[in-house]
Amino acid sequence: MKTTLKIEELAMLGLSIWMFSNLNLEWWWFLLFFLSPDLGMLGYLANDKVGAFTYNLVHHKGIAILVFIMGGVVQNEWLQFTGIIIFGHASFDRVLGYGLKYPSSFHDTHLGRIGKK
């Protein structure tokens, strides 16, 4: 089952790349900002609860889709770009086994525990 989920996430990453290709932006924008959602980890400097909230906020696919749709409604390509980056990055993280965080610890995710046992 894990392999099936990883393939599904890889397909969603491919979808985000295809969606980006339909914007009128240079490819270096995608490469430059692809890892930017990981800045959400800075919340862990405060504590695990704040860290989980900030990390999940910028790794949640529902939020990514909402931001993308809002960009389409107001015809703002940069909002669409932001939604695509969040969506693609979250899919990439899931392929690697990183999921949304629980407030108990950075290592506790909806996909299981990560890191050293």
What does the pLDDT look like over 13-22, one tens digit per residue?
Answer: 999 999 999 9
Contact predicate 59/105, CB 8 Å? no
Predicted TM-score (pTM) of the model is: 0.91
Amino acid 92 reads F
Alpha-carbon distance of 16 to 22, in angstroms, equals: 10
User: Looking at residue 109, what is its pLDDT?
Assistant: 81
Number of domains in the chain: 1
- pLDDT tens digits, residue range 64-101? 999 999 999 999 999 999 999 999 999 999 999 898 99
Which domain does 8 fall in, by range?
2-113
Contact predicate 44/55, CB 8 Å? yes
User: Looking at residue 117, what is its pLDDT?
Assistant: 63
User: Looking at residue 113, what is its pLDDT?
Assistant: 76
Contact predicate 43/101, CB 8 Å? no
- pLDDT tens digits, residue range 29-59? 999 999 999 999 999 999 999 999 999 999 9
User: Looking at residue 108, what is its pLDDT?
Assistant: 82
Q: Is 117 helix (H, G, I), strand (E, B) or coil?
A: coil
User: Looking at residue 22, what is its pLDDT?
Assistant: 97
Per the listing, tokens 């800075």 go with: 42
